[in-house]
């Protein structure tokens, strides 16, 4: 009977170790997936910001060119711009 209890204790200990390993693997996989998704979201945000910056820079340059084309050469505005 004592031998059976010893085998049972070993089985329980081995089961605990397997469960802990599975839980740790799940945690690592989950964290890695989260980090991958977080990087992708940050990259998308960075790309969107860069795109918007370029868009508004082009608009600003266009407006600036329009203003410069309509301002006489000896105007006070041309010295400011």
For the cut 90, the answer to whether the pLDDT of residue 73 exceeds it is: no
Tell me the per-residue pLDDT of 33-56, one tens digit each, with 9 for 90 and over.
999 999 999 999 999 999 999 999
pLDDT score recorded for residue 77: 52
Query: How far is 44 from 40, CA to CA, in rounded Å?
Result: 6
pLDDT score recorded for residue 1: 63
For the cut 60, the answer to whether the pLDDT of residue 10 exceeds it is: yes
Query: How far is 36 from 46, CA to CA, in rounded Å?
Result: 15
Residues in the chain: 81
For the cut 70, the answer to whether the pLDDT of residue 79 exceeds it is: no
């Amino acid at each position: 009977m004592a031998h059976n209890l010893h085998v049972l204790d070993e089985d329980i200990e081995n089961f605990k170790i397997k469960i802990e390993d599975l839980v740790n693997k799940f945690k690592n996989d989950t964290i890695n997936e989260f980090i991958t998704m977080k990087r992708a979201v940050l990259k998308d945000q960075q790309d969107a910001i860069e795109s918007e910056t370029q868009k508004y820079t082009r608009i600003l340059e266009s407006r600036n060119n329009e203003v410069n084309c309509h301002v006489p050469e000896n105007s006070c505005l041309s010295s400011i711009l």
